[in-house]
Amino acid sequence: MSDLKTKQTDKSVNEFLSKIEDPIKQKASRQILKIMKEVSKTDPKMWGESIIGFGNYHYKYATGREGDWMRIGFSPRKQYLTLYIMDGFDKYNELMEKLGKYKTGKSCLYIKKMQDIDINILKELMKESLLNMDKLFPGQ
């Protein structure tokens, strides 16, 4: 069984963000950083080369595969700001309807521009997800 390649590192979050060449994407990334720090009440950590995560939890699947991952996080990808909402979106239909313009994957929320979404709804989505993660992984 292979190890998860993306792991928490000691690299500087601020240094990573300062290297984002697009000033609009850098500003949006700093805005997401501030929101996630406020909502999670944890300090940001780099995960791999390009993901900023907040908090962590240990998971173990029935297959025996296990690892550590962030509770919420984001990455300023080339096309989208990718936000990681680890418990997915199925429980949050009402919030998702009010969020604005976005795309989703299983646990990924893809945003082109911050102006496309309602920041207050995004904060509520993050809070609800973190509360749910606390239930799923208590004491971590």
Q: What per-residue confidence (pLDDT) applies to 115? A: 97
Q: Which residues of 89-118 are buried (b: 16+ CB within 10 A; e: fewer)?
A: beebeebbeebbebeeeebbbebeebeebe
Whether the model pTM is above 0.75? yes
Task: Judge whether residue 29 has pLDDT over 60.
Answer: yes
- Helix or strand or coil: residue 92? helix
Can you list the domains of the chain with their CATH numbers?
A: 13-134 (3.90.1150.200)
For 41-97, the pLDDT digits (tens) are 999 999 999 999 999 998 888 888 888 999 999 999 999 999 999 999 999 999 999
32 alpha-carbon distance from chain centroid:
9
